[in-house]
Amino acid sequence: MLAGFRRSAPASQSLCLNLCPCPSSLLSPAPRRDWRRRPRRAPSSDGGGDPAQASDPQADPAAADGGVPGGGEYGRDRAQRGGRHQRLGGQEFILSEDYNKMTSVKNYQAHQSRVTMILFVLELEWVLSTGQDKQFAWHCSESGQRLGGYRTSAVASGLQFDVETRHVFIGDHSGQVTILKLEQENCTLVTTFRGHTGGVTALCWDPVQRVLFSGSSDHSVIMWDIGGRKGTAIELQGHNDKVQALSYAQHTRQLISCGGDGGIVVWNMDVERQETPEWLDSDSCQKCDQPFFWNFKQMWDSKKIGLRQHHCRKCGKAVCGKCSSKRSSIPLMGFEFEVRVCDSCHEAITDEERAPTATFHDSKHNIVHVHFDATRGWLLTSGTDKVIKVRRHLIKKLSVFGLI
């Protein structure tokens, strides 16, 4: 279903995003499909959006009038009455050698409301930030000067940056991932990815393989193969609650995802994974030809009551409940739990194909952030219970996949 998120992209764009030397013909778009009756998520990527939003201060109407919402006469009247609108942002500190003292250096007045994400790029001396005002901004850390901004479609909840190509990845609560190309004082909208049915809750970027991982409140993780010449999107289903944190071990190609269910899932991304198929539309079961409940003509002609439509997760065919009574895990497609498959696909799946490609662990708390230290083999998690846990006992289990 997530196969070929490139297909709805304009022909003038390449989903490689100039991250690899592949020709654009390798990712040529296909005709747009109709997703109106398809219950699954319908990923697409396009260069949509208002190009005017890519410039600053035009991208921020409030900033164009001194940071006062509404601007114009309203802003001047409010200023004359003594009103004040505070701009929020990040703060820079100098940490002492003994880690016992922090000295404030400067403030970055970047947003009109609470900052949601902040990222420091040492190589370029940039400070990237997003806020609840739906603004993305970046500043020069040496001068403190605002270099530019962009208004997103929803409040941002994920932020990653590629230093080599200067592409920034912004995930938001609408489930969209926006990719921008940053210059010194302006940015350009490259494309957007829409593959989640829930909001994006976490992003993780692998600069070596040119792969972006996005976690969502729809309990899934999607791997976007941006620079791999294939333009594929792989779906990973291993959580019973929203995915809230992602970490990636580059040297062994292992993805660590943590969710609100307290689960820690370690995915082996070094295997040859398969894309989930597109869900097919049909007015009758594609196995037994029984009509579905909206197919009134066939129900009348055959004098049969219509059935409910289901889909096989392996082949994507529209089938009835009788023809898809079996369940099976399909790890290579990202389904670590048992899912609905048609009877013929259930017989074709071998025991080797059912071998798990991920390990599951219980963290005993609701994780909101995770970090894996590959040098020491430590996994650090922080949760809503205000507790930071250092997991050493997990290392022996993770060593099965070669994490340490």
Asked if residue 52 has pLDDT above 50, the reply is: no
Number of H helices, E strands in the chain: 4, 26
* CA-closest candidate to residue 204, choices 216, 213, 195: 213
Instruction: Tell me the pTM.
Output: 0.71
> Does residue 73 sit in helix, strand or coil?
helix
* CA-closest candidate to residue 312, choices 337, 287, 293: 287
Question: What distance in Å separates the CA atoms of residue 154 and residue 152, rounded to the nearest whole number?
Answer: 6
* CA-closest candidate to residue 236, choices 257, 252, 209: 257
Q: Which letter does DSSP use for residue 262 in this model?
A: S
What element of type H or E holds 358? Answer: strand 358-362
In a domain, 288, yes or no: yes
Say what the pLDDT of residue 394 is. Answer: 54
Q: How many domains does the chain have?
A: 1
Domain span holding position 311? 275-356
In a domain, 289, yes or no: yes
Counted residue by residue, the chain has a size of: 404
Enumerate residues 6+ apart whose C-beta is below 8 A from 151.
Answer: 53, 59, 60, 134, 135, 136
In a domain, 317, yes or no: yes
Can you tell me which residue has the tokens 């096989």?
Answer: 312
In a domain, 160, yes or no: no
In a domain, 351, yes or no: yes
Confidence grade of residue 170 (pLDDT, cut at 50, 70, 90): very high
Question: What distance in Å separates the CA atoms of residue 235 and residue 80, rounded to the nearest whole number?
Answer: 55
Answer yes or no: are the C-beta atoms of 88 and 114 closer than 8 Å.
yes
Can you tell me which residue has the tokens 């701009």?
Answer: 87
In a domain, 43, yes or no: no
In a domain, 344, yes or no: yes
Neighbours of 44 (CB within 10 A): 20
Average of per-residue pLDDT values in the chain: 76
In a domain, 177, yes or no: no
Query: What integer is the mean pLDDT of 111-135?
Result: 92
Angle CA 113–365–212, to nearest 5: 60
Say what the pLDDT of residue 143 is. Answer: 86
Q: Half-sphere exposure of 256 toward its Cβ, with a 13 Å CA cutoff? A: 28
Asked if residue 152 has pLDDT above 50, the reply is: yes
In CATH, what number is assigned to the domain containing residue 283? Answer: 3.30.40.10
